[in-house]
Amino acid sequence: MIRLRGSSLPGEIEALSGQRVFDCNQCAKCTAGCPMSFAMDIQPNQMIRLVQLGQADRLLRSKAIWLCSSCETCAARCPMSVSVAEVVDALRQLSRERGMADRSTGAPQFHQAFLDSVARHGRAHELEAIGVYKAKTRRFFDDIGLGIRMFRQGKLSLLPHRIQDRDVIRRIIRQSSGSSKT
């Protein structure tokens, strides 16, 4: 077990996520409803238990934290109102900060490309995020057919749509990621 920033993992996750991890009673309703649990190396209820036990290494290196789609089905089903998705966001942040992200899935790279795009434009520019992701992972042609179909259907724009007050978005991202980047 490692300690992060001089505090216990449960305390740090609670501070970052606002979730009371010790309220979880391991009923596994979050796992039963999770649309991504079939692909996870650590199930949602197990993630909460590992946080309770302070198992930072295992969690911060897991694929599961990058597979969560943040749909909040976990929170909707939880009788104790614990949102695994909020905990996962905190785990992603710590994983990136510590350089422990499992990059084999490409999910951490996509996650960062998406956030960088939002920070630049105030909202996601999908074509830019995909381009950066493809360049980082070198998976240039994995889904080229889908990309062409999306472009033809008007789902991908060549130019980004910018919003006003992008500095506000940058500050939010910087605060939530604990990063000085953007």
Assess contact for 91 and 65: CB atoms under 8 A. yes
Residue pLDDT, tens place only, 87-118: 999 999 899 888 887 777 777 777 788 888 88
Which of 50, 84, 101 represents a domain boundary (last residue)? 101
Domain count, the chain: 2
Asked whether the whole model's pTM tops 0.75, one would answer no
Average pLDDT for 5-18: 84
User: Do 44 and 17 lie in a common domain?
Assistant: yes
4 half-sphere exposure, CB direction, 13 A CA radius: 24
Average pLDDT for 116-144: 83
**Residue 110 phi, psi (nearest 5):** -65, -45
Q: State which residues form the domain around 160.
A: 106-177
- The CA-based angle 75-68-113, given to 5 degrees, is 130
In a domain, 18, yes or no: yes
Residue pLDDT, tens place only, 158-181: 888 777 787 887 777 777 665 444
User: What does the block give as tokens for 1?
Assistant: 């077990």
Which of 101, 134, 154 represents a domain boundary (last residue)? 101
In a domain, 2, yes or no: no
